[in-house]
Structure 1
């Protein structure tokens, strides 16, 4: 199963549209928050099942601030991360993922891509497609290949 992971698009659709066209076909889309009212557009654009969570800039939304989803037998915690103080570190996020029995934790908020294994948790931040903050400031996203019984393979990609 191919999963497209994005975050922090902040209501700007151009790079998201390019990413969807570049990576199609994919089976699932995960957005780690700060969609700024574009969730219906994103679901229509993806043309597949989606998990979208609220970020700190998603005001007046019904989106949940975190979701647990199981894909191919892998339990995943999806959150924006601001409730876990991920700008400082992702220790609280990892602790919460462990407490919920998740093996993967995905977050956004920092606008900086991350793929790390921390205390048995695969931690993923796709970065931002709109306002990247890492060195070089290239818009980024992640693609995960996930199969039951196998370790997920995740790659950060850049526009």
Structure 2
């Protein structure tokens, strides 16, 4: 199963549209918040199952703040991350994920991609496809490949502009 993981589009979809076309086919899209009312548009673009959580800029949104689900046997916990102080570090969000029994936690908010694979937990942030903040400022996202035997692989990808 191929999963496209994005965050922080902030209602600017040009790069997201390009990334979706580049990465097709994929079987799931995960958006980690700050869609700013564009969730219906993103779901239509993806044309597959979509998980979206509410970010700190999703004012008046009915989106959930957090979700938990399984991908090929992996317990996934997703949230935007601002409630866990991710701008200051990952300790709180990792503790929450472990407390929930998750083995993968995904968050956004910082606009900087990161990927840490520990023995019991994978922690990832795809960065932002619209307003990146890391060195080089290339829009970033993550592609997850998961198989039915429990194998999983993650790759941070960059969309050159």
Same fold (TM over 0.5): yes
1:49-95 per-residue CA deviation (whole Å, 9 max, x = no partner) reads 00000000000110011100111111100100000000000111111
SS of residue paired to 1:60: coil
The residue aligned with 1:33 is 33
The residue aligned with 2:84 is 84
SS of residue paired to 1:87: helix
SS of residue paired to 1:116: strand
SS of residue paired to 1:11: coil
Matches within 5 A, 1:71-150: 71-118=71-118, 120-150=120-150
Number of equivalent positions: 159
1:117 shift after superposition: 2.1
1:116 shift after superposition: 0.2
SS of residue paired to 1:123: strand
The residue aligned with 1:54 is 54
Q: Give the gaps of 5 or more residues in structure 2.
A: none
CA contact (8 A) 1:94 1:118 kept: no
The residue aligned with 2:17 is 17
CA contact (8 A) 1:94 1:119 kept: no
Q: Give the gaps of 5 or more residues in structure 1.
A: none
1:118 shift after superposition: 4.1
Computed over aligned residues only, the root mean square deviation of the Cα atoms, in angstroms, reads 0.9
TM-score of the aligned structures, taking structure 2 as reference length: 0.96
Q: Which runs of 4+ in 1 moved over 4 A?
A: none
1:101-124 per-residue CA deviation (whole Å, 9 max, x = no partner) reads 100000000000011024621001
CA contact (8 A) 1:74 1:148 kept: no
